[in-house]
Amino acid sequence: MSLGTVVIPFCVCVYFPFPLLQVEKMGNAESNAYRNHLSRFLPEEQSDVDGVFDILSGSSGSAAAKNGKAMKKTVTLEALKAYMREPLPEQMTVRLYNGMRSIDLTGKSSAPSDHIAKEQFVIFMSNLLKGNADEKITIIMRMISTTEGPVKGKEIQEFTEDLIKSVVHVLSYRKELKGWNLENTRDSASGIKALSSQLLSELKLADGTKAVSPQLMEMNFDRSVIEDWVYRVPQISAFLSVVIRQGLRVLHSLPDQTKDIVNLVPGCKGIKGRIVSLFDIPSIIYINSHLPAELQHKWRLLFSSKLHGESFSQLCAHIVNKGPCIVILKDVDGFIFGGFASHSWEVKPQFQGDNRCFLFSVFPSLAVYTYTGYNDHYMYLNHGQQTMPNGLGMGGQHDYFGLWVDSDYGKGHSKAKPRCTTYNSPQLSAKEDFTLDALEVWAVGDMPESAETKGKKSILDVDPEAQALLEMTGKSRHSEGLREPLEDDDEDN
């Protein structure tokens, strides 16, 4: 190289045919944060989220990519309302919008824009569907109230009721109730309020004590209390997931992405066009969440006093040896309550079951009462004896059960002064000694092999007195071949 020669630096230019994560105009810190949120989604999930945003913003993904203006596309409240007019109640659409607006992209805590940017939309999805309680809490606080600072108990109640109402509405609209519907179950209005009250009862004050209902409405709850509540009450996150996935129709059909809602509602069999259940949709969701995981996928109607008659013998004939069951009844005063039996019912003069059993109330309040460890009087079924009580019972002791249905059908009691020793339940019925109005028994989970293979009812099932006598003498059953055909297990899906 001679003196005076000019050296021109060699420059390599690389052309990217697509916008780099659509964050060219964001700062490095913001760009990295956005990439971190995007990385939570699989490629097909990113595509799903992009597609919904494109619909909401009225843009075409391919056109936006070509002109590099995808980042400028935004979503308005009106667009959200139009998109979700039928799937979700309007109040929940507004709450989702407020949650999206609450995401601060600049870190300057400026007043939120009326338009939702793509980054806000993605971070909203990332935090609520895949984040922890800390990541969800800012959004949830703004969904509860648009004002900064603590929120009132009444605002939390309104949010929770809106959330549960939206879950029932969207699952019904999308036909995702798996055989249940709003016609074959109790009216959900009282169930929504009951479930909301139950979830709110889990709110803990800063000192760790629970808020008392009458004062709860006017009390202020700060961010840390709400975060603790969301962390301890899994239904809040699960319900938000249902509302977003089914309401926005996003990430609702991708494999392994709906584990939180797969068994939210169990499949329903045996009720189609026959009766209106004593359960409502919110109470089904709540009671099902307390069952062992392997039993949450299916409920099958075994007995209904409306279908099979008001007969204790008929009750025994339909529920013996059918696997784990839920018993639910209503007294003449309108109180609805029951219990979960973890084992097949057997007619015998001894207590049975294990510590997975529980008692519950559905109306006027919704609650589950689990075992205390005080005794093992989980479940009891006896008939046709003179020396032992005859009837169906759960918890407590003879003549003093937490739940008792007498073999003299129509009579029962729920005794607890102050609480049932086995389950720590209060009196479940309106009166200690109650008159029965209606009763249902639901088998939960898959039918046990014994019930499937034997296929017919034994004379001992129809006549529990004979079985009880054999149990007393230690004899086994030998009449399994004499069974009536089981009712068809009709598909209600």
Q: How is residue 2 written in tokens?
A: 């001679």
Q: Which two tokens stand for residue 150?
A: 């603590």
Q: Which residue in 439, 417, 430, 480 sits closest to 310, CA to CA? A: 439
- At residue 215, the pLDDT reads 80
pLDDT score recorded for residue 255: 53
Bridge pairing between strands 267-269 and 298-304? parallel
Q: How far apart are the first and last CA of the chain?
A: 84
Rounded Cα distance, 242 and 256, in Å:
14
Give residue 485's identity as a one-letter amino acid code: P
The pLDDT assigned to 211 comes to 76
Tell me the Cα Rg of the chain: 29
The domains of the chain, with CATH numbers, are: 34-57+73-248 (1.10.238), 291-450 (no CATH)
Q: Are 357 and 394 in contact (CB under 8 A)?
A: yes
Q: What is the pLDDT of residue 247?
A: 94
Contacts of 270 (CB under 8 A, 6+ apart): 300, 301, 302, 487, 489, 490, 492
Using left for φ > 0, alpha for ψ between -120 and 50, and beta otherwise, residue 140 falls in: alpha
Percentage helix, strand, coil for the chain under 3-state DSSP, each rounded to 5 = 40, 20, 45
CA distance 20 to 24: 7
> Which two three-digit tokens encode residue 13?
């230019």
Residue 32 identity (one-letter amino acid): N
pLDDT of residue 239: 96
Hunting for tokens 């005859």 — which residue is that?
390
d(Cα 466, Cα 469) in Å, to the nearest integer?
A: 5
Structure tokens at 93: 């659409």
Low-confidence ranges of the chain (pLDDT < 50): 1-26, 60-66, 68-71, 256-257, 455-459, 462, 475-493
The whole-number pLDDT of residue 191 equals 96
323/388 Cα distance (integer angstroms)? 24
The rounded Cα 419 to chain-centroid distance in angstroms is 27
8 Å CB contact between 280 and 195: no
- Angle between the N-to-C axes of helices 234-247 and 133-144, in degrees from 0 to 180, rounded to the nearest 10: 70
pLDDT tens sequence across 379-416: 999 998 888 899 999 999 999 999 999 999 999 999 99
3-state secondary structure of 284: helix
What is the DSSP track for 147-205? Answer: SSS-EEHHHHHHHHHHHHHHHHHHHHHTT-SBTB-SSSS--HHHHHHHHHHHHHTT-B-
Q: What is the DSSP string of 427-475?
A: --SSSSEEEEEEEEEEEESSPPHHHHHH-B--HHHH-HHHHHHHHHHTP
**Whole-prediction pTM:** 0.83
CA distance 245 to 4: 69
What does the pLDDT read at residue 464? Answer: 54
Q: Where are the alpha helices (DSSP H) in 312-351?
A: 312-319
74 token code pair: 């935004």
Cβ–Cβ < 8 Å for 139, 230:
no
